[in-house]
Amino acid sequence: MIIGQAFAWVFDPTNYPGPSGIPALAWEQVWITLLAVAIAGLIAVPIGYAVGHTGRARGFAISVSGGVRALPTLGVLTIFGLWLGIGLQAPLIALVILAVPSVLAGAYAGVESVDPVTVDAARAMGMTEWQILWKVEIPLGLPLLIGGIRAAVLQVVATATLAAYVGAGGLGTYLFSGLKVQNYPEMLGGSIIVIALAILFEILLAILQRAVVPAGVAAKGRSRRRNRRARSSTPILEGTPS
């Protein structure tokens, strides 16, 4: 069965040593993913914070990010590949374009999610707009930003297999080389490793997203959940007839 053959390929010790081994190509996949998301963060986070804090150009930002989401990554990669040639530049640009919308949405949604009463209280205390942004809105909105980064990482780590299409390495090497010789266990084995990386990133970023929730917000959430459970477990007393 091909699935059993694929797992046998993954755990075959002969596929591990050297620059084309599983650890080396998996690290290339991780490196390309982290680099693309980091560049997307440098572009999208300041814009998202500005949009979320001021409320200006929100519709434009949503429209642009929605349009970017619709772009086919393989098509973008092919265009830049023809322009820039073989190497990391073309897939990196395509992956950054893929990651920007999720990071942008997480940034401005995080700032917008802050209770306006909290922001007004900060202004009443004499805080400047920069202080409100850095000391109030960014810390409180950080979980949503991490959520946007989490979505971007999952998208990019799977799509980064296309980097091998222009000779930039990564686990997609197994897919394209396996396709040439019809080695389907190798192709499926490479896909299994990509899935494992995506699950690992999902777990780590979920833990990080929960860890950055401010203690006061987390305590308030726990208190609300306890109150809801208490109300739902309280029996409804029927009125006695007069």
pLDDT tens readout for residues 106-141: 999 999 988 889 888 988 888 888 888 888 999 999
Task: Dump the DSSP string for 68-127.
Answer: HHTS-HHHHHHHHHHHH-SSSHHHHHHHHHHHHHHHHHHHHHHHHTS-HHHHHHHHHTT-
How confident is the model over 86-96, as pLDDT tens digits? Answer: 888 889 999 99
Provide the whole-model pTM. Answer: 0.85
Span between the terminal Cα atoms of the chain, in Å: 75
Which CATH number describes the domain made up of 22-214? Answer: 1.10.3720.10
Q: Quote the pLDDT of residue 224.
A: 60
Rounded to an integer, what distance in angstroms lies between the CA atom of residue 52 and that of residue 64? 15
Rounded to an integer, what distance in angstroms lies between the CA atom of residue 13 and that of residue 242? 83
What angle, rounded to 10 degrees, do the helices at 184-211 and 172-180 form? 170
Nearest by Cα to 190 from 153, 149, 157: 157
Cα 107 to chain centroid distance, Å, stands at 12
Pick the residue with more confidence: 138 or 63? 138
Rounded to an integer, what distance in angstroms lies between the CA atom of residue 49 and that of residue 130? 11
Please say whether the beta carbons of 170 and 161 come within 8 A: yes
The CB-side HSE value for 95 (13 A sphere, CA atoms) comes to 31
Rounded to an integer, what distance in angstroms lies between the CA atom of residue 212 and that of residue 169? 34
Rounded to an integer, what distance in angstroms lies between the CA atom of residue 17 and that of residue 28? 15
Please say whether the beta carbons of 99 and 36 come within 8 A: yes
pLDDT confidence bin for 242, thresholds 50/70/90? very low
